[in-house]
Structure 1
Amino acid sequence: MRMAGERIIERLRNQIFENIVKQDIEFFDRNRTGEIISRLAADTVVVGKSVTQNISDGLRNGIMAVVGTGMMLYVNTSLTLTMMSIIPPIAVAAIYYGRILRDISAKTQTATSHTTQVAQEKLDLIRTVRAFAQENRESHSYATETHKVYQLSMKESYAGATFFSGAGFAGNFVAMAILYYGGSLVAAGSITPGDLTSFFLYSTYVGFSFMGLSGFYGELMKGIGASSRLFALMESKGEVEGQSSQTGIKLEKVTGRIEFKDVEFAYPTRSDAKIFKGLSFTIEPGTNVAIVGKSGSGKSTVAQLLLRFYDPSKGSIFIDGIDIRSLDGNHMRNNIMSFVPQEPSLFATTIRENIAYGRSNATDQEIESACERANALGFIKKFPQGFDTYTGEKGVAMSGGQKQRIAIARALLKDPKILIMDEATSALDASSENLVQDSMSQIVMGRTVITIAHRLSTIQQADFIVVVEDGRVVETGGYDELVEREDGKFRHLIDAQLSS
């Protein structure tokens, strides 16, 4: 049973995690990582124990109760009926106890996940906590959450103590009744003292079995309470990812033409705040396009929609004339696009494995070539362990500029037809940025590049500029053309940057 339980827990965790990573990005916007991890770790153990060890105990106690009851009936029917008079009230009490335990179990698992959330968030941001000397505050915050778990555990203890003490009292009362009634039968000569002794031993045997069944029912209710959260995860299906993986088209030859047509969009968690209100622009194949605008204008959202992290509420986005809703999203991101995020995150592994993340079969020569184009080869070779240097959790062992260059190399290694760079050089110093910019002619060669940028040096490299404001495109054109428009939106952005 122990082996079966561990197999069930393993399969549950694997199935749930597989379903989680295939959810829409909206799912992760609405659910905190700590809660998801708690469901994977704690809830699966409760459910696994409930359906293995607990069922084993229940079957054993059930068989013991049936056999013991048969022996009691064989000894004396009237004494057995007296013994069984305890079952209806205990059964009713057990039903109510099970319902209470199920509700408390669900609340306890939720409270436990909240403690995991708090701990993970504070430890992830430990440098911020330390910088602002808020250790005591965060310790108190965690203690508050653990106290909620303690209070729920106490409620469970009180419920269990009330039920089992009541059942024990009823059992003792029935035992006294059996002794009294059995003694009168012995005095009347209906049964022998040996029969009464045997019956009393059988009744004790059955009594312990019924108490075990009560515990089995309670543990089963706890498992049901925990399983409701797990089944919610298993049954949840992403609309965006689910549709694209089942019926999506896999484009094999792509030129890289992109068109946003009358796109309207608001993030699901902020549906009342529209980001785009009819966004339309076209990017021709093989061009380097800069998306510019004020902070909060939706520049990064362009990348998220193109990667199909979300679907627009209205309008369409086309790649080579095909609506991306009809494409296989996984194939599109794996074979057509690469993305360098504004705040690149690295996995807790080596530099080599981080760079080869999107293309695990890449050769050392290909990895070095990508690093050279991203101006990352120099600092990597200076490390004693070179490409085998450990980056730390989320890349904490690397500087901001080093992480960005590793992220650029990771994107270039895939040799994508469409490259999306979201403020990809924002953490680089002027010297490193100049080196990356110098290699941009090689980076953009043969592919469409979308650069979301603030820096003047990055914008000047672009073949075409799209200016976004108030959810719409307000200007398009080349750098020289837009700068010459004295009352233009782009000119105002540049003047503001130069004056600062």
Structure 2
Amino acid sequence: EGLTMRMRGATMKKLLRMEVGFHDDPEHTPSKNVFALETYAFRSGNLMLAIGAYANVFGSLVVGLVLGFIISWRMSLMMLALLPVVAVANYVGMKMMMTGQGGTPEELKTAQQVISDAVNNIRTVRSLGVEDILVELVNGWSTPVAKRGKAKAVTGGLNFGISQGLVIVVFGFAFWWAMWLIKNGHNTFTEAMQAMGTILFGAMGMGQAMSLVGNAEQAKMACHDLFELLDRESKIDGIDPTGMEPKDAQAIGRIEFRDVKFFYPFRQDVKVLKGITFCIEAGHSVGLCGPSGGGKSTILALLQRFYD
């Protein structure tokens, strides 16, 4: 949890330091940035779980086998043959239980974004009368997800039932073998139960731990994306204390544009400013007039150095 918190803090700081053009990129929309904060740091922190899972697998297997062979080597040999079945069954069972804990599908993320925008702009939606269109859009994204979810639930239930049934079959066979050893005087009841229990529960622990190891691949991918963001340098860092400062006292407060041409980084086909020139002396008030999309907000954005 501490590692996840530090990663989320570092990601948030990096997002705040990135230039405005970075956030204009369709690949860095607010919803995707929130997804990075929620998911990347959490999955990266799961690497620690994977390391613990590997240790758990090794410990469960070694301790179970050692204790089992010390108590009864005959019972342990039979249980060793059944070990893969128990481990695989518990691995599949744990995977099925964790299936519902995955992330939100991309279709639902898009639908959630549309619903959020529609609620925030409900007056515009009502004035345009597009409620039915929005409902159709949301249904179009959510219906395939629901169908896949139903199919996944059926197959997941079958796999879980079969895996748990295999464990019961192994238990039955182990008890039959223990009865045969006791009947023929090779082991006492206590020895047979102890040997069977140590190896059987060791194998079950190994299978459950192995189900956590699969998250390591997601964690590696999340680490790659996370550090790609953290290593990226901001083109315009407003927090960085270095930079040019005006030395001429008369120039402080004076604003001058000379044949400025500008287009937004991700809309290069639309020229917003087409060679604008003007000068505002310090202490003067000037109004910027023009139609919507004429570049008034762009001029203010350039003055604040949102763009170079």
TM-score, normalised with respect to structure 2: 0.69
**Higher RCO (CA < 8 A, seq sep 6+):** 2
Distance 1:52 1:161 in 2: 29
Aligned-pair distance for 1:125?
Answer: 0.3
Contact in 1 for aligned 2:90/2:208 (Cα 8 Å): no
Question: Which consecutive residues of structure 2, in runs of 5 or more, have no partner in the other structure?
Answer: none
Residues 234 and 22 of structure 1: is their aligned pair in 2 closer, same or farther, counting only changes over 3 Å?
Answer: same
CA distance in 1, matches of 2:112, 2:225: 16
What does the per-residue CA deviation read over 1:116-135, in whole Å, with 9 as the maximum and x for residues that have no partner? Answer: 42232112102222334544
The structure-2 alpha-carbon separation of the partners of 1:224 and 1:109, relative to structure 1 and needing over 3 Å to count, comes to farther
Partner residue, 2:300: 303
Cα distance in 2, alignment partners of residues 150 and 226 from structure 1: 27
| Matched residue, 1:241 | 236
Question: SS where residue 213 of structure 2 aligns?
Answer: helix
1:203 corresponding residue in structure 2: 199
Q: Secondary structure, in 3 states, of the residue corresponding to 1:269?
A: coil
Aligned mates of 1:229, 1:161 — CA distance in 2:
34
Alignment partner, residue 125 of structure 2: 129
Classify the secondary structure of the residue corresponding to 1:245: coil
Task: Specify whether residues 261 and 82 from structure 1 end up closer, same or farther in structure 2 by C-alpha distance, changes over 3 A only.
Answer: farther
Give the whole-Å Cα distance in 2 for the aligned partners of 1:222 and 1:144: 31
Q: 1:270 aligns with which of 267, 270, 273?
A: 267
Q: 1:225 to 1:22 in 2, by over 3 A?
A: same
SS in 1 for 2:266: helix
Distance in 2, Cα, partners of 1:10 & 1:260: 45
Structure 1, unaligned runs of 5 or more:
312-500
What is the CA distance between 1:235 and its match in structure 2?
2.6
Query: Quick one: structure 1 residues 154 and 234, their matched pair in 2 at CA, closer, same or farther if it must change by over 3 Å?
Result: farther
Aligned to 2:31: 34
Contact 2:68–2:198 (CA under 8 A) maintained in structure 1: yes
For the Cα contact (< 8 Å) 1:35–1:113, is it kept in 2? Answer: no
Task: Mark the CA change 1:87 to 1:189 in structure 2 (over 3 Å): closer, same or farther.
Answer: closer
What is the DSSP-based 3-state SS (H/G/I as helix, E as strand, rest coil) of the residue aligned with 1:283? Answer: strand
Residue 61 (structure 1) shift? 7.3
Q: Which amino acid aligns with 1:36?
A: N
Query: Deviations along 1:150-208, whole A, 9 cap, x unmatched?
Result: 45655664665465445435444544554455555556544344322222222332243
Which has the larger displacement, 252-261 or 205-214?
Answer: 252-261
User: What CA distance in whole angstroms lies between the structure 1 residues aligned with 2:113 and 2:218?
Assistant: 22
**For 1:195, what is the secondary structure of its paired residue?**
helix
Contact kept in structure 2, 1:275 and 1:297, CA below 8 Å: yes
Residue type of the partner of 1:309?
A: F
CA shift digits 1:219-258 (9 cap, x unpaired): x359638946972685363532249826423457552344
Compared CA separation, residues 269 and 80, structure 1 to 2 (3 A): farther
The 1:302–1:122 alpha-carbon spacing in structure 2 relative to 1, beyond 3 Å, is same
Greater CA drift, 197-206 or 252-261: 252-261
Give the superposition deviation at 1:310: 1.9
1:256 aligns with 2:253: yes
- The separation in 2 between residues aligned to 1:61 and 1:183, in whole angstroms, is 29
Match of 2:17 among 18, 22, 37: 22
Q: Secondary structure at the match of 1:123?
A: helix
Aligned pair in 2 of structure 1 residues 36, 268: CA closer, same or farther (>3 Å)?
same
RMSD of Structure 2 on Structure 1 (CA): 4.6
- Mapped contact 1:105–1:226 kept (Cα < 8 A): no
Listed one character per residue, the Cα deviations across residues 3-45 of structure 1 (whole Å, up to 9, x for unaligned) are xx3x4554444333222222222233223333433544x5379
Answer whether contact 1:47 1:227 (CA < 8 A) is retained.
yes
**Match of residue 68, structure 2, among 64, 69, 72:** 72
Question: Whose helix proportion is higher, 1 or 2?
Answer: 2
Structure-1 residue corresponding to 2:39: 43
Q: 1:245 to 1:258 in 2, by over 3 A?
A: same
> Structure 1: how far apart are the matches of 2:42 and 2:165?
30
- CA shift, 1:141, in A, is 4.1
Q: Kindly provide the amino acid, as one letter, of the partner of residue 12 in structure 2.
A: F
- Percent sequence identity is 20
Q: How does 1:423-462 map to 2 (within 5 A)?
A: none
* Higher deviation after alignment, 61-70 or 11-20: 61-70
Structure 2 distance, partners of 1:226, 1:128, is 40
Distance in 1 between residues matched to 2:10 and 2:144, nearest whole Å: 30
* Amino acid across the alignment from 1:270: R
Q: What count of residue pairs does the alignment treat as equivalent?
A: 298
Task: Output the CA distance in 1 between the equivalents of 2:112 and 2:227.
Answer: 19
In structure 2, what is the Cα distance between the partners aligned to 1:231 and 1:83? 44
Q: Where does 1:172-191 land on structure 2 (aligned, <5 Å)?
A: 172-179=168-175, 181-182=177-178, 185-186=181-182, 189-191=185-187
**Contact between 1:68 and 1:203, CA under 8 Å: does it hold in 2?**
yes
Q: Is contact 1:24–1:309 with CA below 8 Å preserved after alignment? A: yes
CA distance in 2, matches of 1:135, 1:10: 40
Amino acid at match of 1:199: A
Structure 1 match to 2:219? 224
Check conservation: 2:49, 2:212, Cα contact below 8 A.
Answer: no
Q: Please tell me whether the aligned partners of residues 39 and 113 of structure 1 are also in contact (alpha carbons under 8 angstroms).
A: no
